[in-house]
Amino acid sequence: MNNFPLPIAAAPAGLPIDDVLFVVVPYVVLALFFVMTIWRYVKDKFSYSSFSSQFLENQHQFWGSVPWHYGILALVAGHLIGFLFPREVLWWNAVPARLYIMETGALIFGVTALVGLVNLIIRRAINERIRAVTSRMDVLILVLLLLQVLSGLYVALFTRWGTSWFAGVLSPYLWSLFTLRPDASAVALLPWSIKLHILGAYAIFGVFPFTRLVHVLVVPNHYLWRRAQVVMWNVRKNSTGGGK
Amino acid sequence: MNRFLPLILAFLTAACGTISLLAFPQEVAAQAAPAAADQKHAGLDPYKANCASCHAIGGGKTVGPDLKGLKDRVPSRDWVVQFVKDPAGMIAKDAYAKELRAAYPMDMPGQPSLPDNTLADIIDFIFAGGPGLAQKALRAATEADVEIGRQLFTGEKMLAGGGPACVSCHSIAGLGGLGGGTLAAGVGAMNPDLTHAFTRNGGEAGVRAALSSPQFLVMKQVFADKPMSEDEIVALTAYLGERSRQPRQDQNRDYFIVYGVIGAVLLLLLLDLVWIRRFRNVRKTLVGESQ
């Protein structure tokens, strides 16, 4: 008889677990993020970087680092715009063709970031020199980033159209956190894939100060416009004691 | 560094505790405030928030029965309490509940966590005939409303309250392009395609009531402070009514991932082109020499 079970908001909206995951966790993560990031800068300034990833070898690295960074930077910027300017995003999406362009564009950057990240992971796994300087935190952050990109792609493909509902559902939630009136009631009702993506973001923010991700804060921006440079050895390799 | 770890943990705990203390009382205060306003019935607001999208009091039956005269129809007040908290349980054991279920198109969602005093206020309100509940019928739809409704659905015309357009999470026949959203599919058993939502939701009266105070999972939260205007409700209902006469269409959704992959390949080629002079041979030699 009832071939159309309506998902009407039955009362158990907002289980305690959702309040913990989407209200308490973000505040803990934010506190951790700011305190430990500043702490590490004050106490251990020279660790503010990425360890060598053998960038002179760029046959493989090019297809990892470049797609990854362009993809992820575009996506992070997109999420930030959705958070800061939800009404403007809805205005842009008002024309269906523009919505499709925005969604497809975001998906392209997502796939590109995934290609780059997978290449970086493979390169780190098979290159002995990189394996030698890989810490446990490097492995952790790579796993977290991979999960985050995969869950993001799943959300983009199966719970469309994210650019629009982000503005309607997640932007108000994030603002509620920042204005200290946390309201996770809408987030609590979202599908597990989106919840996983949100929690993944918190996990990344949480471990940020303990990983190589801190390089984001000291990124050598001039690399973007400086001229390419050739690194040359001006001594014979036998006299350097370097190499393998 | 380890020396200071307890200090940091203490700070974090304190920060979180303070923030929680700061945050939660505001919610309680915000909920308590409207009840004190003038002399309206304490059950009016909770009734609107929880019941009005499926029930009328004196306005005729919609998705659910008209609640006018409920007091005289039900066996007891306690029966109502039990039914609201656990409709399925009551339908299983109570003959009158079973009879009601058979006469209407869908299950009533249970409200097990509605506070007892709020439920008592709501029942008082219904038994009193819904004092102060605006029974103003929405205006009749015109031909132009169908087109306006389509624009509201796709977002070409933005909802005045600031809510996201229907297409963000739903699809409907005739959209074209990559079709509508699919989020609605992820949050319940509902079909995110609204082509036949008009008939499923009890026709014009049902859809209008449902849009006036949406009870659907995420929509309830999203539209709680962004209600739709009368004109928007009338237009969207008219559009859904017109669409319900169309057959369902499969949207061209599968092209989305195809476009994404093709686009990514093109982007990778572009990156290769931009850095075409990346000193491949120079570097290769250098790396080779160093090994």
Share above pLDDT 70 across residues of chain B, in percent, rounded to a whole number: 77
CB B236 within 8 A of CB B223: no
pLDDT at B25 over 60: no
Model pLDDT, residue B30: 47
Average pLDDT, chain A: 84
Provide the CATH number for the domain formed by A16-217 in this structure: 1.20.950.20
Which pair of tokens denotes residue B256?
């989305």
CB-CB under 8 Å, A189 with B187: yes
B281 pLDDT tier (thresholds 50, 70, 90): low
- The tally of CA atoms less than 13 A away on the side-chain side of residue B277 is 4
Q: Could you tell me the residue ranges of all domains in chain A?
A: 16-217
CB-CB under 8 Å, B221 with A185: yes
CB-CB under 8 Å, A24 with B16: yes
> What CA–CA distances, in Å, run from B138 to A10, A217, B64, B213, B230?
27, 56, 19, 14, 7
The pTM (predicted TM-score) of the whole model is 0.77
pLDDT at B203 over 70: yes
Q: If you search the block for the tokens 């005045």, which residue do you land on? A: B160
pLDDT at B270 over 90: yes
The beta strands (E) that lie in chain B are given as none
Q: Which of B183, B201, B265 to mutate to test the interface with A (most CBs of A within 10 A)?
A: B183
Whole-angstrom Cα distance, residue A72 to residue A149?
9
Higher pLDDT, B173 or A67: A67
Considering only CB atoms, A24 lies closest to which of B20, B110, B267, namely B20
Contacts of B22 (CB under 8 A, 6+ apart): A180
CB-CB under 8 Å, B102 with A1: yes
Interface ipTM > 0.85: no
CB A40 within 8 A of CB B140: no
Segment B59-93, tens digit of pLDDT: 777 778 888 888 888 888 889 988 888 888 888 88
By the CB < 8 Å criterion, does B215 face chain A?
A: yes
Which pair of tokens denotes residue A49?
């970087």
Which pair of tokens denotes residue A147?
């999960």
The pLDDT of A157-171, averaged and rounded, is: 91
CB-CB under 8 Å, B278 with A62: yes
CA distance B204 to chain A (A): 17
Considering only CB atoms, A160 lies closest to which of B163, B181, B286, namely B181
Nearest CA in chain A to B253: A157
CB-CB under 8 Å, A180 with B167: no
Whole-angstrom Cα distance, residue A93 to residue B150?
15
The pLDDT of B97-117, averaged and rounded, is: 80
The pLDDT of B150-162, averaged and rounded, is: 90
The pLDDT of B214-235, averaged and rounded, is: 84
pLDDT at A21 over 80: yes
CA distance A142 to chain B (A): 21
Nearest CA in chain B to A29: B12
Taking one residue from A and the other from B, the number of pairs with CB-CB distance under 8 angstroms is 240
Model pLDDT, residue B215: 72
Whole-angstrom Cα distance, residue A52 to residue A57?
11
Whole-angstrom Cα distance, residue A82 to residue A172?
10
Model pLDDT, residue A5: 40
Whole-angstrom Cα distance, residue B244 to residue B240?
6
Whole-angstrom Cα distance, residue B47 to residue A170?
27
CB-CB under 8 Å, B189 with A7: yes
CB-CB under 8 Å, B287 with A5: no
Secondary structure class of B216 (helix, strand, coil): strand
CB-CB under 8 Å, A228 with B279: yes
Whole-angstrom Cα distance, residue B171 to residue B166?
8
The pLDDT of B137-158, averaged and rounded, is: 88
Contacts of B172 (CB under 8 A, 6+ apart): B153, B166, B180, B193, B194, B195, B240, B243
By the CB < 8 Å criterion, does B36 face chain A?
A: no
Q: Which of A6, A103, A163, A192 to mutate to test the interface with B (most CBs of B within 10 A)?
A: A6
Which pair of tokens denotes residue B227?
């209600």
CB-CB under 8 Å, B182 with A186: no
CB A72 within 8 A of CB A128: no
B283 pLDDT tier (thresholds 50, 70, 90): low
DSSP B62: S
Which pair of tokens denotes residue A194?
């989106």
Handedness of CA A47, A49, A55, A60 (dihedral sign): positive
By the CB < 8 Å criterion, does B25 face chain A?
A: no
CB-CB under 8 Å, B12 with A32: yes
Considering only CB atoms, A165 lies closest to which of B169, B188, B253, namely B169
Considering only CB atoms, B16 lies closest to which of A27, A104, A160, namely A27
CB-CB under 8 Å, B176 with A24: no
pLDDT at A15 over 60: no
CB A105 within 8 A of CB A92: no
